[in-house]
Amino acid sequence: MADDKQTQAIRDEFRGHLEQFYATLKLAPPYHSVEKAIAHLTASLKVMAPDERARLASEPALKWAQYKTAFVESGLSQKHRGIIAGLARSAKTGLPAEHQAFLDAYLS
């Protein structure tokens, strides 16, 4: 049961970061792709061993690597691409530094 709570907490945190990302950029989130990203993250968490999931939950760098993977593989990095890439290049996003992981997907 603790694994389910841990997975849910990671999912909820990811959803919060996505909401903040789009709200800060003043863009409507592409809801279908957001849900695909969360589903992708959930699937990857469920195949992890409990100790691996616990390590991920406690290490921000690992967690953000998973978030970025879900972000890219869900297609979110293709939505609003021109607008967000332009903002990312200008460094005028107003986003927290941790969201650079999402922005990097638009700059690569």
Share of the chain above pLDDT 70, in %: 97
**CB-CB contact of 44 with 80 (8 Å):** no
Helix (H) or strand (E) holding 3: helix 2-24
Q: Which residue has the higher pLDDT, 8 or 3?
A: 8
Q: Which domain holds residue 12?
A: 2-107
Residue with structure tokens 């792709």? Answer: 33
Going by pLDDT thresholds of 50, 70 and 90, the confidence category of residue 104 is confident
**How many domains is the chain partitioned into structurally?**
1
Task: Classify residue 99 as exposed, middle or buried by CB count within 10 Å of its CB (0-12, 13-18, 19+).
Answer: buried
Q: Is the pTM of this model over 0.75?
A: yes
pLDDT range class, residue 3, cuts 50, 70, 90 = low
pLDDT exceeds 80 at position 70: yes
